[in-house]
Structure 1
Amino acid sequence: MPEDVLRAIFSLAGAAPSNSNAQPWRVEIVGGSRRDRLADALRAAHAERRVSADYPYPEDMYAPVHQERRAAFGADLYGALGIGPDDHPARAAYDAESIGFYGAPHAAFLFVTGDGGPRLAADVGAYLQTLLLAMTAYGVASCPQGLRSFYADTVRDELRVDEGKLLVGISFGYADEAAPVNQVGTGRAPLEATTTFHG
């Protein structure tokens, strides 16, 4: 991607709101050979199960309704890829592919700075949403990946980052419209299931 497009996108993202304008985020962007070296390091960490998450990710953090939504999405995704529900080796191979940024030419990593607590993570979430919208405005496809945060120490070591907690990584580039994964649509819960109007 052209550097001027990258700079325009990340400049827009930097206009995201935050509590008292603290902007408690640090963003690391990789492309080219640096991206390739990081992908190799992440694949090795994944294969060796060297997990180092700054934020816990217990499976029981989801309520049953959330689990139902996740299962429905997983069925659609793996179905589009021709991977059966019990084909655990194929699912593991797809996870390993995701470690390589799904082939995207660039990745960004969002770190929460300051004390890195959940209150500050909410501000970084606002940055993330603004970043995704900016990418969309420039015709850039993106995929936020929580799996990236499972290997925070690897990312820090490879990029020589010495501050913040890794919240999420985003793979991005111009979409391959012919890829089966890009044919998968994601539904949303009806408004009434998530929103209540008072008064």
Structure 2
Amino acid sequence: MNVSDAVRSRRSVRAFVNKPVERETLARILEKAQRSPSGGNTQPWHGIVLSGEPMQRLFDRIAHEFPKGRDAHRPEYNVYPSELDGAYEQRRRGVGEDMYGALDISREDKANRLQWFARNFQAFGAPVLMLIHTPRYMGPPQWSDIGMWLQTIMLLLREEGLDSCPQEAWAVYASQIREVVDIPDDHIFFCGLAIGYRDESAPVNNFDVKRADIGEAIRWEGWQ
């Protein structure tokens, strides 16, 4: 698979088939991903790769918290800025509505929407969940380095026929995650990455995820 095909076929997969992922495959991918760029070669990323019983223990812990709603949320950073508006907010809300549309869950059907949202905390049925963290003193440049590392991993997963879903949703349960997963106290928890094989038939994996026109993101200067 060339890079263009990997980019084109990558998406946030929210339904996985019941098929294990070999540790050797993930180790090979993560070894290659160490070539990801980072400012000053700091390589500020850290990950914990869960499967089997440790992953289920985390799922069970969060399942106990989920019915409490927002009262149980303990994020260590704001996933979205409070000032998010305009096109950025429209895109965020739009992809959610498109997803629920693909699932045939109406806006008024709050119970089924909530039930579907809970699947975030089962990694959408993926057999692997990687949790990402970094030292607390790292700033925005290092967080962008982590993003480049994650993108590299996700594209390498596609090369191996695997898929993923980056999940900032896990951030709202940072303190509960620490109860069952050993994350250093001087590190901040960032996100999860669900990893597995895509369920090709699932509607949630087949709706069109819209992208802004390049003209909304890029300005050209000094070109004919």
> What letter corresponds to residue 208 of structure 2 in structure 1?
G
> What's the offset of the Cα at 1:114?
5.3
Q: Is the 8 A contact 1:27 1:108 kept in 2?
A: yes
Counterparts of 2:108 and 2:221, CA distance in 1? 45
The 10-residue stretch of structure 1 (14-23 or 59-68) with the greater mean CA deviation from structure 2: 59-68
* Aligned residue number for residue 12 of structure 2: none
Counterparts of 2:195 and 2:80, CA distance in 1? 27
Counterparts of 1:171 and 1:140, CA distance in 2? 11
**What SS is found at the alignment partner of 1:198?**
coil
Counterparts of 1:70 and 1:172, CA distance in 2? 23
TM-score by length of 2: 0.83
**What SS is found at the alignment partner of 2:107?**
coil
Matched, 1:91 2:113: yes
* Aligned residue number for residue 2 of structure 1: 22
Counterparts of 2:200 and 2:119, CA distance in 1? 18
Deviation per CA, 1:58-98: give whole Å up to 9, x if none. Answer: 56342211121122212210011110012111111111121
Kindly indicate whether structure 1 or structure 2 has the higher relative contact order, using CA contacts under 8 Å at least 6 residues apart: 2
Q: Is the 8 A contact 2:126 2:195 kept in 1?
A: yes
TM-score by length of 1: 0.93
Counterparts of 2:198 and 2:80, CA distance in 1? 31
**What SS is found at the alignment partner of 1:151?**
helix
Q: Is the 8 A contact 1:16 1:127 kept in 2?
A: yes
User: Does the C-alpha gap of structure 1 residues 155 and 13 become closer, same or farther in structure 2, counting only changes over 3 Å?
Assistant: farther
Counterparts of 2:117 and 2:27, CA distance in 1? 30
* Aligned residue number for residue 112 of structure 1: 134
Matched, 1:194 2:223: no
Counterparts of 2:120 and 2:79, CA distance in 1? 18
User: Superposition RMSD on alpha carbons, in Å?
Assistant: 1.5
**What SS is found at the alignment partner of 1:171?**
strand
**Structure 2: gaps of 5 or more residues:** 1-20
**What SS is found at the alignment partner of 2:164?**
strand
> What's the offset of the Cα at 1:188?
0.7
Counterparts of 2:106 and 2:131, CA distance in 1? 31
Q: Is the 8 A contact 2:51 2:129 kept in 1?
A: yes
**Structure 1: gaps of 5 or more residues:** none
**Count, aligned residues:** 199
